[in-house]
């Protein structure tokens, strides 16, 4: 399924209820998820409306994956999770993006698959900003 760029939340910049943009990277943008069951959860979305990773040239793919890696390194430094899970699900919204879910031994779903949106943990604007500042300090 290919989504229409005119209806794509990433292309239309209409992600305000789901996440907060905190960085423009070389070929993508980085976001902090508002739902924070997985403390520090982020997302990296490719700048152009590309449906799948395999549609990129080798150079574009390498640049995108370097952006993903840059964000996960910052997340590792800022939050010290045991592991960061990567999810590239595009069944209903086929704009290339990776979910980055930090996992902690005492946290939800440790040892299993993270939930897309458990809807349990939301923070204050100040708490979101503190998390963004922590990531940006090491990005």
Ordered domains of the chain (ranges, CATH): 5-138 (3.30.428.10)
Instruction: For residue 76, give every residue at least 6 positions away whose Cβ sits within 8 Å of its Cβ, in sequence order, or none.
Output: 84
The Cα–Cα gap between 44 and 28 comes to 7
In angstroms, how far is CA 30 from the centroid of its own chain?
6
- In this model, does residue 90 exceed pLDDT 80? no
DSSP-derived letter for residue 138 is H
Is the dihedral angle over the CA atoms 107, 113, 114, 120 positive or is it negative?
Answer: negative
pTM of the model: 0.94
Instruction: For residue 137, give every residue at least 6 positions away whose Cβ sits within 8 Å of its Cβ, in sequence order, or none.
Output: 78
pLDDT-derived band of residue 101, with 50, 70 and 90 as boundaries?
very high
pLDDT tens, residue by residue, 40-87: 999 999 999 998 999 999 999 999 999 999 999 999 999 999 999 999
Instruction: For residue 93, give every residue at least 6 positions away whose Cβ sits within 8 Å of its Cβ, in sequence order, or none.
Output: 3, 8, 9, 10
Closest CA to 39 of 6, 80, 3, 9: 80
pLDDT at position 1 is 57
SS3 content of the chain, % helix, strand, coil (to 5): 30, 20, 50
């Amino acid at each position: 399924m290919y989504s229409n760029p005119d209806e794509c939340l990433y292309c239309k910049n209409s992600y305000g209820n789901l996440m907060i943009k905190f960085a423009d990277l070389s070929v993508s943008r980085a976001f902090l998820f508002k739902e924070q069951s997985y403390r520090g959860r982020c997302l990296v979305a490719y700048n152009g409306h590309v449906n799948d990773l395999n549609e990129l040239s080798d150079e574009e793919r390498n640049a995108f994956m370097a952006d993903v890696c840059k964000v996960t390194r910052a997340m590792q430094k800022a939050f010290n999770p045991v592991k960061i899970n990567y999810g590239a699900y595009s069944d209903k919204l086929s704009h290339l993006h990776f979910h980055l879910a930090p996992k902690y031994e005492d946290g939800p779903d440790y040892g299993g698959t993270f939930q897309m949106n458990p809807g349990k943990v939301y923070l204050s604007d100040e708490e979101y900003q503190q998390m963004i500042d922590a990531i940006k300090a090491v990005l």
